[in-house]
């Protein structure tokens, strides 16, 4: 992995602990987004399926995997992340499910990741949360193709993602909504920080420079070009989107 890559901030235990104790708990409408993800998987692969083989890439502390295990308690999953402190948090969070899960340290920025995980597949569902936007657009498209190749025919891909606004207005709407949520979190904790201080921390946060956002419409189009079907953005509020599609049942 090149030392210039900004996404390497996630290898830091401090950034991970900051994210897990604050940002990840205040993402607006996160539970609704998780619900959309679970519904997409549930109806996409057939509601009668009880066992599911899934993979979560950029899994963080395993929040998406936990939601899937809640709906499909007998499923087996691969949780992949390149950050050891994140994988440690995922192992801890899902320790009662350890026998159903494989925790893999890998960098999906490097095409070799797909070969590394292929032995665990093919997968009924591949999901990702707030992660792929750290890749340049060209690499995002290749990651989507690699995901497509790792799915069973009819398999579902869901990306719960931070996407680009079209205008500065959209960006302001997103920033203000996020800061409101952070302010409520700080009020509950009694941190004593002013809205101005919280906003400044948000604007200058360490992991922000690792964001390479792309509009959700473009990303849906990339999925269609790759061969996914039923592609849509099923939830969107400002810069938060849940989108994806299914691998065709026959052919490529």
Ligand X SMILES: C[S@@+](CC[C@H](N)C(=O)[O-])C[C@H]1O[C@@H](n2cnc3c(N)ncnc32)[C@H](O)[C@@H]1O
CA dist., res. 125 & res. 158, Å (int): 8
Position 65 contacts ligand X (CB under 6 A): no
**Which residues, including other chains, have CB under 8 Å from residue 172's CB and lie 6 or more apart?**
none
Q: Cα–chain-centroid distance for residue 65?
A: 10
Position 59 contacts ligand X (CB under 6 A): yes
Position 161 contacts ligand X (CB under 6 A): no
Give the dihedral sign, CA 204/205/208/209: positive
Q: How long a stretch of residues is the chain?
A: 252
DSSP 32: H
Of 40, 107, 27, give the one whose Cα is nearest residue 68. 40
Provide, rounded to whole angstroms, the least separation between the CB of residue 122 and ligand X. Answer: 20
Position 82 contacts ligand X (CB under 6 A): yes
**Number of shown-chain residues binding ligand X (CB under 6 A):** 19
Provide, rounded to whole angstroms, the least separation between the CB of residue 175 and ligand X. Answer: 17
Provide, rounded to whole angstroms, the least separation between the CB of residue 136 and ligand X. Answer: 11
Q: Which residue is nearest to ligand X (CB)?
A: 60
Indicate the residue among 60 and 77 with the shorter CB distance to ligand X.
60
Task: Compute the half-sphere exposure of residue 224: CA atoms within 13 Å on the CB side of its CA.
Answer: 10
Position 131 contacts ligand X (CB under 6 A): yes
**Which residues, including other chains, have CB under 8 Å from residue 89's CB and lie 6 or more apart?**
16, 20, 60, 61, 62
Indicate the residue among 8 and 248 with the shorter CB distance to ligand X.
8
CA dist., res. 119 & res. 125, Å (int): 15
Indicate the residue among 110 and 218 with the shorter CB distance to ligand X.
110
Find the binder of ligand X among 58, 77, 155, 244 (CB under 6 A): 58
Position 60 contacts ligand X (CB under 6 A): yes
Indicate the residue among 113 and 228 with the shorter CB distance to ligand X.
113
> Could you list the residues that contact ligand X (CB under 6 A)?
7, 10, 24, 58-60, 63-64, 81-83, 86, 107-109, 129-131, 134
């Amino acid at each position: 992995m090149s030392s210039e890559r900004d996404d390497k901030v996630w290898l830091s235990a401090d950034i991970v602990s900051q994210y897990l104790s604050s940002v990840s708990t205040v993402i607006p409408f996160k539970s609704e987004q998780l619900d959309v993800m679970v519904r997409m998987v549930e109806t996409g692969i057939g509601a009668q399926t009880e066992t599911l083989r899934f993979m979560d890439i950029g899994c963080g502390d395993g929040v998406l995997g936990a939601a899937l295990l809640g709906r499909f308690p007998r499923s087996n999953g691969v949780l992949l992340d390149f950050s050891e402190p994140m994988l440690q948090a995922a192992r801890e969070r899902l320790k009662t499910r350890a026998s159903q899960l494989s925790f893999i340290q890998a960098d999906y920025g490097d095409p070799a990741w797909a070969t590394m995980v292929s032995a665990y597949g093919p997968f009924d569902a591949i999901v990702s949360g707030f992660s792929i936007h750290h890749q340049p657009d060209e690499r995002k498209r290749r990651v989507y193709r690699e995901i497509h190749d790792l799915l069973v025919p009819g398999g579902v891909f869901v990306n719960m993602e931070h996407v680009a606004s079209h205008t500065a207005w959209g960006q302001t709407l997103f920033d203000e909504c996020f800061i409101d949520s952070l302010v409520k979190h700080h009020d509950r904790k009694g941190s004593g920080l002013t809205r101005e201080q919280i906003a400044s921390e948000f604007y200058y946060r360490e992991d922000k420079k690792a964001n390479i956002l792309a509009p959700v419409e473009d990303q849906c189009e990339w999925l269609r070009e790759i061969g996914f079907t039923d592609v849509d953005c099923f939830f969107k509020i400002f810069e938060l989107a849940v989108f994806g599609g299914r691998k065709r049942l026959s052919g490529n």
